[in-house]
Structure 1
Amino acid sequence: MSISQRLHGLGWALMLIVLGLNLRPILTSISPLLNEIRESSQLGFQEAALLTTLPVVCMGLVALLSAGVEARLGEGRGIALGLLCILLACTVRGFTVDGRLLLGSALFAGIGVALIQVLVPGLVKRLFVGRVALAMGIYSAALMGGGGLAAQFSPRLASHFGHWQAGLLVWMLPALLALLLWLKMPWRAAQPLAAGQSVQAFMGNRRAWLLALYFGFSNCGYMTVVAWLPAYYQQLGWSSPDSGSLLALMTVFQVLAALTMPALAQRMRERRGLLSVSLIAQLLGFGGLLLYPQSAPILWVALIGFGLGACFALSLILSLDHLHEPRAAGQLAAFVQGFGFLINALAPSLSGWLREQTGGFQATWLLMLVCMSVMLAVTWRFSPASYCRISTNSRLPPAEPING
């Protein structure tokens, strides 16, 4: 590989990091400040949960429309529009206490994040041939790292400036930086999709649905923890900054997992062992939150973070494994993320409802234990030899056949 090719690859890797850093602050900056936001905006528990639920609903719905997005906007204008949406949403949040405007900003930011998320997997498959797992790991680590930074610094900035809006407004700056950098990149313009290269091509495919359900339920713990972990520990007597620090600490382990587990996956075709480890880590962590929340909170949060970081990256890699052609693989990833994020979106609202009904979060952690146990059993259906099943009822080329 020539020096120019290496520099080209490094430039795109850095761009993936910058993009990823902008995709979670809209969620994790909210949760440590949720009590203050609720008091100012007069939002109830379930309404406040919409601040994290609405963006995830948008992620799902836009992903299902990704074929039209790619065909009309292309990866260049699509990602630029996504960054602009995030920039505007963060700006609005910095200057309002109106609950309706805050919910509108959540909707707008969700559209922005969704546009980026549905286009990045296909871009990675195209640009990082032979290094897809590693590139997805870098992107996933940056995505989770951005969430951790927001959880750590938003409550501290809010405390320093004396109002919670400051902790939300600051995230317009990385969005602006990313937008300016992206406009300088040699991205690809809109191109029409070939026949069968759309999300709709997978609607009748059982393997595609299984991948989507697996992505949704194995990662639903992230939205639950982002929405309610700080509130859970505040209920146990912790301060807003300290509870936000727990969320930030969780993200450190997410990033470690998102970097190390895909690096291991790069060396092998088999994903089931690594996925099982990530789900078992979540089981142990949620079990700790349920039974011994004050005894070893750092350990429980570390286990959950490691499991979630590995699960997100590995389940996307698993989806990309199923198809060889980059745009078709990107559309499968969009299908998986579309329905998967719609499943994720139910988690914060359901947790808020359980909190109102029971007065605590124990039922929420128990629900997470059930989800992870079921997904652990499902994991063993994803043998490499079964990847060819994705081509059933579609005209898309499967990944190269695997023996054994």
Structure 2
Amino acid sequence: MNAHLSRSGALGGLLVVAVAINLRPILTSIGPLLEEIRNSTGLGYQQAALLTALPVLCMGLVPLLQPWLRRWLSEHHGMVAGLAAIALACTWRLFLHSGTALIASAALAGLGVAFIQALMPGLVNRWFSKRLALAMGVYSAALMSGGGIAAVLGPRVAETAGHWQAGLGVWLLPALLALVLWCMARPRSAQERSDPGTGRHFFRSRRAWLLAGYFGLINGGYTSMVAWLPAYYRQIGGSAQGGGELIGFMTLFQVLGALGLPLLLRRLADRRPGLLLALLSQLLGFVGLLLAPSLWSGLWVALIGFGLGACFSLSLTLTLEHLRDKPAAAGALAAFVQGIGFIITGIIPYLTGWLRDISGDFQASWLLLTLTVVLMLVVTLRFSPGGYASAMTTMPSAR
């Protein structure tokens, strides 16, 4: 048995969780402290949207370069560079005071997350090929848990320290911990420079573009909710701490969706039933925010969170299963899908922020997200497992 397979049990799971926890605090720590940040730096809503949009755009651009980056950057060095960039950006946030510097730190942290996020699906696919859906659920749940913890604890840390910078910068600690664990405990196979198939790209594959657009739109509600849910809560009379706790509540149901739905449907080879259930859950939540925003806000947020969590996990699993018998090529496909997808996902909070600016409330933003979910319900029907092989017959190379 290969070294990386023999160590893909508890140790592999620990590494996946330790790294994944660091991939969302740079986004979710902003929303609960947004008013303090805006008052201190003078950022408007559209400018503040860059604090979410820029990292997500980085998450899109870097994976698209992966076929070329892997020629000179190994998986190990990519992980180290990513975790170091996150730690450096969080350290910078402890001391900065201007909006421009804060936006620049968001770009730096986004680059770090992008390096890691481009590598993780392929790594999970390689370590847990026989339990892919469950492993992707654990990865997704850990990723979302990190975001929820940051949203809940960020305002508390800021209040204790007496300045909002502490609520953003404290997340250098889990980044340093993950960096130490990766360097000490990673499977030595992670040092390989590249695997067969990592030099492939999918720019000429129609199915790859469809998967990428699907991933971007199906997860677009997450970046908008992270960016604007706390501000929306404060707009209807809530507090910064309450807004953070609402993100934490959403994250709890994201974790339930990311783990629970794949586990419940683990015997199904067809991912469409799970994706349709997850999208319907999102749809009910966004319709609730439109029609009764202050009546049962907790219920609407829970439904949205459950749907978003399941969608993220299942859409990545769907992508990897298109090339299940070719793990390296599947990892490259996942990098492409995340690349294009996160560019789309990064644009959505900017659009919803713009709608908030011109309309004066968030109802137009929720309407846009509702229409997006309806469109994705229709697209989901195209992903029949029997069509995976024929859809991926064209396998272009980066060379």
For Structure 1 versus Structure 2, the TM-score category normalised by the shorter chain is over 0.9
Within-5 A mapping of 1:353-368:
353-368=354-369
Secondary structure of residue in 2 paired with 1:130: helix
What displacement does 1:367 show? 0.4
Q: Within the alignment, does 1:270 sit opposite 2:270 as a pair?
A: yes
Please give the alpha-carbon distance, in whole angstroms, between the structure 2 residues aligned to 1:31 and 1:217.
Answer: 21
What displacement does 1:310 show? 0.1
What displacement does 1:6 show? 7.1
What displacement does 1:193 show? 5.2
What displacement does 1:198 show? 3.6
Read off the aligned partner of 2:56 and give its amino acid letter.
V
Correspondence for 1:310: 310
What displacement does 1:303 show? 0.2
Within-5 A mapping of 1:113-152:
113-152=113-152
Contact map agreement 1:69 1:78 (CA 8 A) in 2? no
Read off the aligned partner of 1:322 and give its amino acid letter.
H
Contact map agreement 2:22 2:175 (CA 8 A) in 1? yes
Correspondence for 2:373: 372
Please give the alpha-carbon distance, in whole angstroms, between the structure 1 residues aligned to 2:36 and 2:377.
Answer: 38
Please give the alpha-carbon distance, in whole angstroms, between the structure 2 residues aligned to 1:172 and 1:145.
Answer: 16
Question: What TM-score do you get using the length of structure 1 for normalisation?
Answer: 0.94
Correspondence for 2:342: 341
Contact map agreement 1:64 1:199 (CA 8 A) in 2? no
Percent sequence identity is 55
Correspondence for 1:402: none
Please give the alpha-carbon distance, in whole angstroms, between the structure 1 residues aligned to 2:266 and 2:20.
Answer: 20
Residues 142 and 98 (structure 1 numbering): CA distance in 2 closer, same or farther, change over 3 Å?
A: same
Correspondence for 1:189: 191
Correspondence for 1:399: none
Secondary structure of residue in 2 paired with 1:394: coil
Deviations 1:93-148 (A, max 9, x none): 11111111111100000000010011011111111121111111111000000000
What displacement does 1:58 show? 0.2
Deviations 1:260-280 (A, max 9, x none): 122234322111000000000
Correspondence for 2:111: 111
- More divergent stretch after superposition (72-81 vs 83-92): 72-81
Please give the alpha-carbon distance, in whole angstroms, between the structure 2 residues aligned to 1:208 and 1:395.
Answer: 11
Read off the aligned partner of 1:164 and give its amino acid letter.
W
Contact map agreement 1:73 1:189 (CA 8 A) in 2? no
What displacement does 1:191 show? 2.7
Please give the alpha-carbon distance, in whole angstroms, between the structure 2 residues aligned to 1:192 and 1:130.
Answer: 22
Q: Within the alignment, does 1:40 sit opposite 2:40 as a pair?
A: yes
Q: How many residues align?
A: 392
Q: Within the alignment, does 1:351 sit opposite 2:352 as a pair?
A: yes
Correspondence for 1:258: 258
Residues 8 and 199 (structure 1 numbering): CA distance in 2 closer, same or farther, change over 3 Å?
A: closer
What displacement does 1:378 show? 0.7
Secondary structure of residue in 1 paired with 2:9: helix
What displacement does 1:7 show? 6.3
Correspondence for 2:319: 319
Contact map agreement 2:75 2:194 (CA 8 A) in 1? no
Deviations 1:17-68 (A, max 9, x none): 1111000000000011011101111111111110010000000000101122
Q: Within the alignment, does 1:180 sit opposite 2:176 as a pair?
A: no
What displacement does 1:330 show? 0.3
Please give the alpha-carbon distance, in whole angstroms, between the structure 1 residues aligned to 2:362 and 2:270.
Answer: 36
Contact map agreement 2:204 2:396 (CA 8 A) in 1? no
Contact map agreement 2:226 2:247 (CA 8 A) in 1? yes
Q: What runs of 5+ residues in structure 2 fail to find an aligned partner?
A: none
- More divergent stretch after superposition (344-353 vs 219-228): 344-353
What displacement does 1:285 show? 0.5
Read off the aligned partner of 1:354 and give its amino acid letter.
L
What displacement does 1:294 show? 1.1
Contact map agreement 1:125 1:132 (CA 8 A) in 2? yes
Read off the aligned partner of 2:279 and give its amino acid letter.
L
Contact map agreement 2:200 2:396 (CA 8 A) in 1? no
Read off the aligned partner of 2:364 and give its amino acid letter.
A
Please give the alpha-carbon distance, in whole angstroms, between the structure 2 residues aligned to 1:342 and 1:198.
Answer: 21
Query: Over aligned residues, Cα RMSD in angstroms?
Result: 1.6
Please give the alpha-carbon distance, in whole angstroms, between the structure 1 residues aligned to 2:73 and 2:111.
Answer: 14
Contact map agreement 1:56 1:110 (CA 8 A) in 2? yes
Secondary structure of residue in 2 paired with 1:270: coil
Contact map agreement 2:352 2:368 (CA 8 A) in 1? no
Deviations 1:214-233 (A, max 9, x none): 10111000000000000011
Within-5 A mapping of 1:193-272:
194=196, 197-198=198-199, 200=201, 202-272=202-272
Secondary structure of residue in 1 paired with 2:168: helix
Please give the alpha-carbon distance, in whole angstroms, between the structure 2 residues aligned to 1:285 and 1:6.
Answer: 42
Contact map agreement 1:152 1:248 (CA 8 A) in 2? yes
Please give the alpha-carbon distance, in whole angstroms, between the structure 2 residues aligned to 1:32 and 1:267.
Answer: 39
Deviations 1:303-353 (A, max 9, x none): 000000000000000000000211100010011100000000111111111
Residues 197 and 165 (structure 1 numbering): CA distance in 2 closer, same or farther, change over 3 Å?
A: closer
Contact map agreement 1:276 1:379 (CA 8 A) in 2? yes
Within-5 A mapping of 1:291-306:
291-306=291-306
What displacement does 1:209 show? 0.8
Contact map agreement 2:7 2:187 (CA 8 A) in 1? no
Deviations 1:368-387 (A, max 9, x none): 11000010011010011110
Residues 67 and 335 (structure 1 numbering): CA distance in 2 closer, same or farther, change over 3 Å?
A: same
Contact map agreement 2:70 2:198 (CA 8 A) in 1? no
Secondary structure of residue in 2 paired with 1:97: coil
Question: What TM-score do you get using the length of structure 2 for normalisation?
Answer: 0.95
